[in-house]
Structure 1
Amino acid sequence: MLLFSIIQIVELLTNVLVMLIIIQFVIGLLFAFNVINSGNQFLMTVYNSINSLLEPVLGPIRRIMPRTGAIDFSPLVLIILLQIVLIVLSNIAIAAA
């Protein structure tokens, strides 16, 4: 039972991280295409806050990955890695049951 609780907590944290990555991506696109002015203090604060939360996780991935120009694939890699961790944990829990 404890293992299933741990897996549920990891799933919750994974979902939160994925949502933050998507929000960061959408706000970044809105700024990049001038849909929203970068002078909008509220969205700039939200964007900077999300960046400061995600940078400790995305930074090491960015250092390992090759440069791809203007496209940053590190959020996609993080989402894939998180999903792999969830699959492995689920299989461990099934095997232990």
Structure 2
Amino acid sequence: FILNSELRFPLNSIKQGLGIVAFYDGGNVFPSVGLHNFTALYTNSVGLGLRYATPIGPVRVDLGRNLNPVPGIKSTQYFITIGQAF
């Protein structure tokens, strides 16, 4: 199960093709089908990002925070990618 939500705000007054986003991601990979332990295994993250439109796709710079941190993995992560998430 996965849920992605992104709220985009264009910043064309600063630079054409530039924007800022706020996002929420949630979900998990479950060992079996069903709702057993759904909330115990479900994880959430929120964050902010910048988007810049280029001819080969958007350049995305994101800073996200896992609201249900996993031991041994940093709860705050940053990502730089080219293209849409999916």
Q: TM-score normalised to the size of structure 2?
A: 0.21
Specify which structure has the higher proportion of helix.
Answer: 1
Q: Which has the larger radius of gyration?
A: 1
Q: Which has the higher contact order (CA 8 A, sep 6+)?
A: 1
Specify which structure has the higher proportion of strand.
Answer: 2
